[in-house]
Amino acid sequence: MSLSDRFFGKFSQDIGIDLGTANTLVYVRGKGIVINEPSVVAINTNTKQVLAIGKEAQRMVGKTPAHIVAIRPLRDGVISDFEVTEQMLKYFIQQVHQEGFNIMPRPRVVVGLPASVTEVERRAVEEAALRAGARRVFLIEEAMAAAIGSRLPVHEATGTMVVDIGGGTTEVAVISLGGIVVSKTLRVAGDEMNESIIQYARDNFNVLLGERTAEQIKIRIGTAIDLPDPLETPIRGRDLVTGLPKEVIMNSMQVKEAVGRTIHTIVEAVKDSIEETPPELISDIIEYGIILAGGGGLLRGLDQVLTQATQITTRLTDDPLTAVVRGTGFVLEDIEAVQEMLLPSAHGARLR
């Protein structure tokens, strides 16, 4: 680290960002998690003006007039709209630095990304963060960040396994000696479950649901196992036959059937990763268990399904939704000590 970095580091509010498909979380060094908002931006298509970002923009999803669109600029864990992502990052960074933003040094930023991102996608994230006000940008794989955030012994010669199920991607990783030994990224996760619920309601109830409604159904009654006391919730949407509003009752067994294919895909990826893992590390994983992180890991009974399928105890990490951003926060505390765990920069990641 240069002398200037050390000097500025004392005064800048360095931040860690979990740039998620569904939610963006921001960790400020010395303060903890200060922002947890949906990765949504509302734009006036006539003027190209950004009208709202985060929670305010999410409230507009599906409820806007024709000239206003609510965009999710990340799809499957990667940037699909560079300019909108830059606006979103700038907003969140300025939220952190809103007091004395002009006189404080620009922050160093650590961003969690899926393991499968290409060099072009890495460059896009770096440039978006730099243009949004970062002094330097460091990138880390989400699975590694989730492991660090879960306080796993990632530096040791011990095998640990993390399954991080976010909105757009599922990351499966076996970690030892500060590196990822086996890694799989699936573009199948929480959003895919929502789509499955929408399709199920269309096929079985002739009801068209919105994304937010499907998400709420998943949270309220979603399950990967048979529950002794099935849950129910009313679902409201548009009747595809009459075009009029319609309300029906959906139960947890129907949701289990709807998301079954997604769960099966995730389970198979975990089993494939175990098959590729060296025997010595398998022994450690059996001892430590499989760690489940990310919002998708909160689906009822998913830990039990993975335990049964792999014969390895699977447990949820503490507060799975924030594991990745907590990991980026721990990285900020001592970036030099975890240098080998970071992804290589696409172009040096420094503003001139």
Decide if 181 contacts 159 (C-beta within 8 A).
yes
**Which has the higher per-residue pLDDT, 85 or 209?**
209
Strands 179-186 and 78-79: unpaired
**Is 26 part of any domain?**
yes
d(C-alpha 341, C-alpha 200), whole Å: 41
Instruction: State the pLDDT at residue 265.
Output: 97
**Is 351 part of any domain?**
no
Give the CATH number for residue 153.
3.30.420.40
Closest CA to 141 of 328, 330, 333: 328
Distance, first Cα to last Cα, the chain: 16
Same domain, 200 and 312: no
Instruction: State the pLDDT at residue 205.
Output: 97
In this structure, what is the dihedral angle of CA atoms 221, 222, 225, 229, given to the nearest 10 degrees?
0
Query: Looking at the 3D structure of the chain, how many domains does it have?
Result: 3
Instruction: State the pLDDT at residue 186.
Output: 93
Instruction: State the pLDDT at residue 115.
Output: 82
Contacts of 246 by beta carbon, 8 Å cutoff, 6+ apart: 205, 206, 207, 236, 237, 238, 239
Give the CATH number for residue 219.
3.90.640.10
Between 58-67, 119-128, 253-262, the lowest mean confidence (pLDDT) is in 58-67
pLDDT in tens, 144-167: 999 999 999 998 999 999 999 999
What mean pLDDT is predicted for residues 40-67? 86
Q: Rounded to 5 degrees, what angle do the CA atoms 73, 265, 256 make? A: 90
Average pLDDT of the residues of the chain: 89
292 forms beta bridges with: 163, 316
Taking the CA of residue 270 as centre, how many other CA atoms within 13 Å lie in the half-sphere pointing to its CB?
30
Closest CA to 242 of 204, 203, 208, 198: 208
pLDDT in tens, 240-294: 999 999 999 999 999 999 999 999 999 999 999 999 999 999 999 999 999 999 9
Token pair for residue 200? Answer: 């199920």
Instruction: State the pLDDT at residue 347.
Output: 59
Same domain, 238 and 329: no
Same domain, 94 and 184: no
pLDDT in tens, 202-249: 999 999 999 889 999 999 999 999 999 999 999 999 999 999 999 999
Highest mean pLDDT among 3-17, 111-125, 276-290: 276-290
Q: Which domain holds residue 304?
A: 147-188+264-321
Same domain, 285 and 296: yes
